[in-house]
Amino acid sequence: MFAVVDKARRLVPKTDAVLADPRLAAAERLLGRTLVKDAVHRAQQRAREGVIEPSAVCDEAVAELPELAASLTPVLNATGVLLHTNLGRAPLSAAAVQAVGAAAGYTDLEFDLTTGSRGKRGAAMLAALGRAVPDAQAVHVVNNNAAALVLTATALAAGKEIVLSRGEMIEIGAGFRLPELLASTGATIREVGSTNRTTVADYAAAIGPRTGFLLKVHPSNYLIQGFTASAGIAELAELGVPVVGDIGSGLLAPHPVLPAEPDAATWLKAGAALVTASGDKLLGGPQAGLLFGKADLIGALATHPLARALRVDKLTAAALEATLLGPPPPVLMALASDKDVLMERARRLASTLAGGGVDAVAVWSQAAAGGGGAPGVALASAAVSLPAEFAKPLRASRPAVIGRVGDGRLLLDLYAIDQADDEALGAAVLAVAMPPCR
């Protein structure tokens, strides 16, 4: 046995010889030397271990090549959670993807093609955002909503106080807590009220010469129910200090499917001086922090030195503009979905799978908007139910398929799946049920 392995080791072709294979040379131009070499080394290792013949190293290395130079893997999101932070939140619209591709090279991000001189960075993106929210005197865009809040706190409340209800001191995920984020800017959090009840009088009593602004945060990932009270934007706006509202989700206007979810236009109309939101939640765009509000405040934020550290790149500018001006992005299409249509799709998929011998049935399901908004709102949906054993091999599919496991079954919820992907979803399940011979 050892002798055989030793012989195989001697016969394993050298790296340079393998790299000279025309297929690998071509791959190197696309993927770069590091990734191709990694594939070659894996193939050589398998030959040394006697798993493959030394003569098969080139073919094996070709089979080992990654498809792209980046390893983020496309996922079919069958979790029923529309905005899943672990799965990259909102999928971009086709229009946004195209815009990103077009902006990827040299582009007129900060250049005026008419005059040939320097232009305002991201002017088209800002114009699109302003047009989408006419109630905002001005708008600004930063890297994410956390950055929008940090910029606001730094510019308007460093060395001062931010008045915040104890019911709105939220943890946004992965251990990041908004009050700690805000305090990191040098502002002091002035907590008011209690977890379940905070009144306008609580805010009013906390206002003084050190007040920077009042902050209203939408509890986007939890609910406080029962004996509760909270102050509205309109009443707070009458207290004579700026009210900043963090709506979280990024709805620009009210949405009929999510009536309890706050939106930028409504909070601005109610008197908020500034509203902040994410770009990659219910807006359905790229990761971004959106700022809407009074011209003087937005001006102060946009020209603050910190703004330079939080500005977005050309890819975000392109994707955000296309999300705002182009056809509705996948997130909004999903929110408009009809449960009977979803059930019809689930039945069709289940019957195809059953025809392939898979124990698959269509079932009603409840989807959710996700950490991005609308906590506690069940969205009527449909799913294909499979034995739970499918979960692991489906994660290994490409694209990977991620469902939801419960009661010994794997549910593939169709709420966040584009209908155009139903066939790929079915094919992935069939491939797991009947692996092709190797």
Q: Residue 88: which region, alpha, beta or left (left: phi > 0; alpha: psi -120 to 50)?
A: left
Q: Which is nearer to ligand PLP, 246 or 263 (CB)?
A: 246
Residue 168 in contact with ligand PLP, rule: CB under 6 A = no
Residue 316 in contact with ligand PLP, rule: CB under 6 A = no
Q: Which is nearer to ligand PLP, 61 or 172 (CB)?
A: 172
Of positions 31, 139, 163, 172, contacts ligand PLP by CB under 6 A: 172
Residue 145 in contact with ligand PLP, rule: CB under 6 A = yes
Q: Which stretch binds ligand PLP (CB under 6 A): 52-60, 138-146, 395-403, 423-431?
A: 138-146
Query: Which residue shows structure tokens 């692996």?
Result: 435
Fill in the per-residue mask, 384 to 423: x = in contact with ligand PLP (CB under 6 A), - = not in contact.
----------------------------------------
Report whether 93 contacts 326 (CB < 8 A). yes
Tokens of 137: 């005197």
Tokens of 391: 């979960």
Residue 382 in contact with ligand PLP, rule: CB under 6 A = no
DSSP line for 268-287: HHTT-SEEEEESSSTT-SSS
How many angstroms separate the CA atoms of 13 and 1, rounded? 21
Comparing every residue's Cβ against ligand PLP, the nearest one is 248
> Quick one: which of 366, 368, 383, 166 has its CA closest to 281?
368
Angle at CA 153, nearest 5°, toward 152 and 154? 95
How many angstroms separate the CA atoms of 395 and 425, rounded? 12
How many angstroms separate the CA atoms of 354 and 384, rounded? 11
Q: Which is nearer to ligand PLP, 282 or 342 (CB)?
A: 282
Residue 337 in contact with ligand PLP, rule: CB under 6 A = no
Q: Which amino acid is at 287?
A: Q
How many angstroms separate the CA atoms of 20 and 9, rounded? 20
Q: Which amino acid is at 195?
A: T
Kind and range of the H or E element at 182?
Answer: helix 178-183
For residue 191, what are the CA distances in angstroms to 167, 168, 230, 396?
Answer: 9, 10, 14, 47
Residue 278 in contact with ligand PLP, rule: CB under 6 A = yes
- Shortest separation between residue 136's beta carbon and ligand PLP, angstroms: 18
Of positions 79, 165, 185, 220, contacts ligand PLP by CB under 6 A: 220
Q: Which is nearer to ligand PLP, 184 or 351 (CB)?
A: 184
Q: Which stretch binds ligand PLP (CB under 6 A): 141-149, 255-263, 320-328, 425-433?
A: 141-149
- Shortest separation between residue 143's beta carbon and ligand PLP, angstroms: 8
Residue 263 in contact with ligand PLP, rule: CB under 6 A = no
- Shortest separation between residue 212's beta carbon and ligand PLP, angstroms: 18
Residue 146 in contact with ligand PLP, rule: CB under 6 A = yes
Residue 242 in contact with ligand PLP, rule: CB under 6 A = no
Query: Which residue shows structure tokens 């709105």?
Result: 168
Tokens of 48: 């040394």
Query: In this structure, what DSSP letter does residue 327 have?
Result: S
Residue 216 in contact with ligand PLP, rule: CB under 6 A = no
Tokens of 68: 């792209």
Burial of 95 (0-12, 13-18, 19+ CB in 10 A): middle
Residue 152 in contact with ligand PLP, rule: CB under 6 A = no
Q: Which stretch binds ligand PLP (CB under 6 A): 134-142, 202-210, 212-220, 307-315?
A: 212-220
Of positions 217, 298, 386, 416, contacts ligand PLP by CB under 6 A: 217
Q: Which is nearer to ligand PLP, 8 or 306 (CB)?
A: 306
Residue 46 in contact with ligand PLP, rule: CB under 6 A = no
Residue 246 in contact with ligand PLP, rule: CB under 6 A = yes
Q: Which stretch binds ligand PLP (CB under 6 A): 130-138, 140-148, 397-405, 429-437?
A: 140-148
Q: Which stretch binds ligand PLP (CB under 6 A): 158-166, 214-222, 232-240, 387-395?
A: 214-222
DSSP line for 32-63: -HHHHHHHHHHHHHHHHTTSS-GGGHHHHHHH
- Shortest separation between residue 313's beta carbon and ligand PLP, angstroms: 16
Residue 218 in contact with ligand PLP, rule: CB under 6 A = yes
Query: In this structure, what DSSP letter does residue 196 have?
Result: S
Binding stretches for ligand PLP (CB under 6 A): 144-146, 172, 217-218, 220, 246, 248, 278, 289
